[in-house]
């Protein structure tokens, strides 16, 4: 069986991930990968295009990381103070959710952060450390103060 070099344009189970160069049998390439638009034949032009795309993605990722570091410094510099309703025993009514924390960050800093990237439910008054995932390599440790 003749092998053929293919650049994957989508993830293919058992073969590889998007953007990878894989060697597969000619029949598999023609009957599955090319037919279903899951890859293209590896020509010199296609390889150069993939290389350029990877460089652009790396630059974009680096720029996003720098923005995330700036935001991390901003979030860690100041404490976020939340006024909450408290019962007689000093416990909160319910909890402060990551959605409420996200809204408060947007209000105070003007930065919108997806609530799914905020780690922490607060159920009592006082100071609490909350982790905010800003980038795959950048996490901010934010201090939130709750008082009744």
Question: What is d(CA 30, CA 100) in angstroms, rounded to the nearest whole number?
Answer: 52
User: What are phi and psi for residue 116, nearest 5 degrees?
Assistant: -70, -15
Phi-psi region of 94 (alpha: psi -120 to 50; beta: other; left: phi over 0): left
Token pair of 125 as six digits: 């008054």
Q: What is the mean pLDDT of the chain?
A: 88
21 lies in some domain: yes
- Do 102 and 31 belong to one domain? no
> CA–CA distance from 84 to each of 28, 89, 100, 116 (Å)?
62, 14, 11, 22
Domain count, the chain: 2
Decide: 81 and 147 in contact? Cβ < 8 Å.
yes
What pLDDT, in 10s, does the model give residues 27-56? 999 999 999 999 999 999 988 988 898 899
- Do 73 and 38 belong to one domain? no
- Do 88 and 121 belong to one domain? yes
- Domain residues for the domain of 89 are 66-147
pTM, 2 dp: 0.68
What pLDDT, in 10s, does the model give residues 116-138? 998 877 888 888 899 989 888 89
Mean predicted confidence (pLDDT) in 78-96? 79
- Do 140 and 70 belong to one domain? yes
């Amino acid at each position: 069986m003749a092998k053929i070099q293919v650049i994957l344009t989508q993830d293919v189970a058992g073969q590889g991930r998007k953007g990878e160069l894989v060697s597969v049998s000619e029949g598999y390439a023609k009957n599955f990968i090319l037919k279903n638009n899951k890859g293209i034949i590896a020509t010199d032009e296609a390889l150069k295009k993939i290389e350029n795309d990877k460089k652009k993605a790396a630059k974009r990722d680096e720029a996003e990381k720098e923005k995330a570091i700036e935001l991390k410094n901003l979030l860690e510099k100041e404490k976020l103070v939340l006024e909450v309703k408290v019962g007689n025993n000093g416990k909160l009514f319910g909890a402060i959710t990551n959605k409420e924390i996200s809204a408060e960050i947007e209000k105070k800093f003007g930065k919108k952060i997806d609530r799914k990237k905020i780690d922490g439910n607060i159920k009592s008054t006082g100071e609490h450390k909350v982790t905010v995932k800003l980038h795959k390599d950048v996490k901010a440790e934010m201090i939130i103060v709750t008082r009744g």
